[in-house]
């Protein structure tokens, strides 16, 4: 190949790899930003709020949190919600995704006592949003289980499924006239794997290979109970939609050998099928049922560590999704693992894949998060092919940095590339009706404390005002929303 041809090839292939989709987003496409109660509200023991599992673990001595910090004050949004709404207004978003603190509404976790001040806080927030023409998108549960319910086993005890439905009823009754989009759970895989399996999330219960499966079983039942409750008692008058948010990753086969391709598909089923399949087709993926049953037997258990749904439960779960929320941050390469690890009783050993990220993929300050925009298009297409043409809302997408500068070019690039990949998926025919950036502002990043910054706004955690400052990415997203164009200007095709 001569020099000139070589040059043309390189230019062509790099421009393909990074080519930006410049077709416009549809007129009714929803653009928003996202937060979660424990990560922003603070006021952890104010106005009658009860204790939840994050209050509990962050107050432990020694602390399990990287910087020993807590969400006691966080962004102080309990007091500063009007400022938050003004920021949303500046961005020009159509919707705002936030979550409700169960313990603020029901301090004991049970419905014996409803905290009117907690209800008032969310009513005021919703009112302020509506007054500014911003649609509230409400996550009913984002990881903060009331401590009294955790004391009884939390999500591993089936008792919680009816208690969750009681809570959802209070929520629909009080806020449902002004909310059209509900999400029952945020990332149940993190609640279950992190909370009861791999010790990455509160309540930090050490029960790998068992706790995750019990937890997920109950989360799915609780979700279905809330959906049916809404469907029977609230849908006709309130006219909203009830979905769930799953965390997603794309798992790209390392080679095209059938072993690696199978490992990728098995991984997808363990990560996504575990939740999406029961709620669309009615039961866990066959591969999960088979693998976990076989391994359980080899390990000496008299029954599978994966609980079974009865026929009635399968019917009850099936079709309980009005739409699907997806959080996408990154992608992994996967290889088959030759080692069966029979002695290892854990979800990870059951899934048995080797995952890694390529050095050439740009890093963030979060260890698992490298920038891989094309994975978003791939996971969206996989979901459509595997579970049918369900309406999808991207409920989270974003990247962390060290927070040292408001000139956050990395975040601007990240959003531009991911929105472009999202538009590619929409052009492929995937039914996506909205995009929600994580996060409106820097906030409490769970066991990483205040060390990772995902915000469009910087928050000064050293000032008692928790001063918010827009970053370059906020201005970029504002322009994207205004022009419905990833370039942030008017040059996109019609």
Q: CB 114 → ligand GBH: shortest distance, Å?
A: 26
Nearer to ligand GBH among residue 233 and residue 346 (C-beta): 346
Residue 422's closest CA among 375, 454, 389?
375
Q: What is the smallest separation between the CB atom of 186 and ligand GBH, expressed in angstroms?
A: 5
396 classed as catalytic: yes
How many whole angstroms separate alpha carbon 439 and alpha carbon 33?
A: 6
The residue (of 230 and 454) whose beta carbon lies closer to ligand GBH is: 454
Within 116-175, the residues that bind ligand GBH by CB under 6 A are none
Task: Name which position in 190, 216, 238, 320 contacts ligand GBH (CB under 6 A).
Answer: 190
Site string for ligand GBH, 58-87 (x = CB under 6 A): ------------------------------
Residues 429-458 close enough to bind ligand GBH by CB under 6 A: 438, 445, 454
Sorted by sequence, the CB contacts under 8 Å of residue 336 that are 6+ apart come out as: 257, 259, 260, 262, 263, 353, 354
> Does 249 help bind ligand GBH (rule: CB under 6 A)?
yes
Give the number of residues in contact with ligand GBH, rule: CB under 6 A: 14
CA distance 372 to 469: 28
- Measured from the CB atom, the residue of 185 and 309 that comes closer to ligand GBH is 185
Closest-CA residue to 37 (of 110, 138, 127, 131): 138
Nearer of residues 78 and 329 to ligand GBH, judged by Cβ: 329
Which of the ranges 130-138, 182-190, 455-463, 478-486 carries the binding residues for ligand GBH, by CB under 6 A? 182-190
Q: Please say which residue, 157 or 448, places its beta carbon nearer to ligand GBH.
A: 448
Task: For the CB of residue 411, give the shortest distance to ligand GBH in the complex, in Å.
Answer: 13
Kindly tell me which of 212 and 313 has the beta carbon lying closer to ligand GBH: 212
The pairing of beta strand 392-396 with beta strand 241-253 = unpaired
In whole angstroms, the minimum distance from the beta carbon of 441 to ligand GBH comes to 12
Burial pattern 401-414, b for ≥16 Cβ within 10 A else e, equals bebeeeebebbbbb
Stretch that binds ligand GBH, among 22-30, 70-78, 84-92, 184-192 (CB under 6 A): 184-192
Which of 37, 280, 327, 473 forms a contact with ligand GBH (CB under 6 A)?
327
* Closer by beta carbon to ligand GBH, 174 or else 327: 327
Which of 39, 473 has the CB closer to ligand GBH?
39
Q: Which residue is nearest to ligand GBH (CB)?
A: 247
CB of 454 to ligand GBH, least distance (A): 6
Binding letters toward ligand GBH, positions 367-406, x by CB under 6 A = -x---------------------------x----------
Q: How far is the CB of 175 from ligand GBH (least distance, A)?
A: 21
**For residue 227, what are the CA distances in angstroms to 222, 223, 310, 318, 443?**
9, 6, 19, 11, 30
- 128, 135, 187, 445: the catalytic one is 187
CA distances from 431 to 33, 93, 372, 385, 418 (A): 20, 20, 21, 12, 16
Please identify, among the stretches 11-19, 186-194, 217-225, 256-264, the one whose residues bind ligand GBH according to the rule CB under 6 A: 186-194
Residues 6+ apart with CB under 8 A from 212: 192, 193, 196, 197, 347
Q: Is 250 in the site for ligand GBH (CB under 6 A)?
A: no
* 290 to 319: interface string for ligand GBH, x by CB under 6 A: ------------------------------
By beta-carbon proximity to ligand GBH, the closer residue of 222 and 249 is 249
Which residue of the set 83, 212, 396, 452 is catalytic?
A: 396
From the list 185-193, 335-343, 422-430, 481-489, the region that binds ligand GBH by CB under 6 A is 185-193
* Alpha-carbon gap, residue 469 to 491, rounded angstroms: 28
> Minimum distance from CB of 260 to ligand GBH (Å)?
17
Dihedral sign for Cα 170, 434, 124, 80, please.
Answer: positive
Catalytic-residue membership of 46: no
Residue among 36, 160, 192, 242 that touches ligand GBH (CB under 6 A): 36
List of residues contacting ligand GBH (CB under 6 A): 36, 39, 186-187, 190, 247, 249, 327, 329, 368, 396, 438, 445, 454
Active site residues: 187, 396
């Amino acid at each position: 190949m001569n020099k000139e041809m070589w040059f043309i090839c390189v230019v062509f292939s790099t421009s393909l790899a990074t080519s930006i989709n410049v077709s416009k987003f549809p007129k009714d496409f929803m653009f928003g930003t996202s937060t979660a109660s424990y990560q922003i509200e603070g006021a952890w023991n104010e106005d009658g709020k009860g204790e939840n599992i994050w209050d509990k673990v962050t107050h432990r001595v020694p602390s399990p949190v990287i910087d020993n910090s807590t969400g006691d004050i966080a962004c102080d949004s309990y007091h500063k919600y009007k400022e938050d709404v003004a920021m949303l207004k500046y961005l020009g978003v159509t919707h705002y995704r936030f979550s409700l603190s169960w313990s603020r509404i029901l301090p004991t976790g049970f419905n014996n006592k409803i905290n009117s001040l907690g209800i008032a806080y969310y009513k005021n927030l919703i009112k302020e949003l509506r007054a500014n023409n911003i649609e509230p998108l409400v996550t009913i549960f984002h990881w903060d289980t009331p401590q009294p319910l955790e004391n009884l086993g939390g999500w591993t005890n089936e008792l919680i499924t009816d208690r969750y439905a009681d809570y959802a009823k209070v929520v629909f009754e009080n806020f449902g006239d002004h909310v059209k989009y509900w999400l029952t759970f945020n990332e149940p895989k993190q609640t279950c794997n992190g909370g009861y399996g791999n010790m990455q999330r509160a309540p930090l219960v050490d029960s790998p290979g068992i706790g995750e499966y019990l937890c997920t079983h109950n989360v799915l039942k609780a979700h279905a109970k809330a959906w049916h409750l809404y469907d029977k008692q609230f849908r006709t008058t309130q006219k909203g939609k009830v979905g769930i948010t799953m965390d997603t990753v794309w798992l790209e086969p390392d080679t095209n050998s059938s072993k690696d391709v199978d490992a990728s598909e098995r991984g997808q089923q363990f990560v996504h099928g575990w939740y999406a399949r029961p709620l669309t087709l009615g039961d866990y993926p066959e591969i999960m049922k088979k693998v976990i049953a076989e391994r359980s037997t080899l390990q000496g258990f008299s029954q599978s560590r994966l609980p079974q749904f009865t026929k009635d439960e399968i019917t009850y779960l099936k079709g309980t999704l009005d739409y699907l929320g997806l959080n996408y941050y990154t992608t992994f390469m996967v290889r088959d693992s030759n080692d069966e690890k029979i002695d290892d009783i854990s979800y990870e050993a059951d899934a048995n894949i080797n995952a890694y990220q390529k050095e050439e993929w740009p890093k963030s300050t979060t260890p698992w998060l490298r920038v891989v925009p094309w994975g978003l298009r791939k996971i969206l297409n996989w979901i459509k092919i595997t579970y049918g043409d369900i309406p999808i809302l991207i409920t989270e997408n974003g990247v962390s940095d060290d927070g040292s500068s408001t000139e956050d070019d990395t975040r601007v690039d990240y959003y531009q590339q991911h929105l472009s990949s999202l538009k590619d998926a929409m052009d492929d025919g995937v039914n996506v009706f909205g995009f929600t950036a994580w996060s409106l502002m820097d906030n409490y990043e769970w066991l990483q404390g205040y060390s990772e910054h995902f915000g469009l706004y910087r928050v000064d955690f050293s000032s008692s005002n928790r001063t918010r400052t827009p970053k370059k990415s906020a201005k970029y997203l504002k322009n994207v929303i205004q022009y419905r164009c990833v370039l942030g200007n008017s040059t996109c095709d019609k």
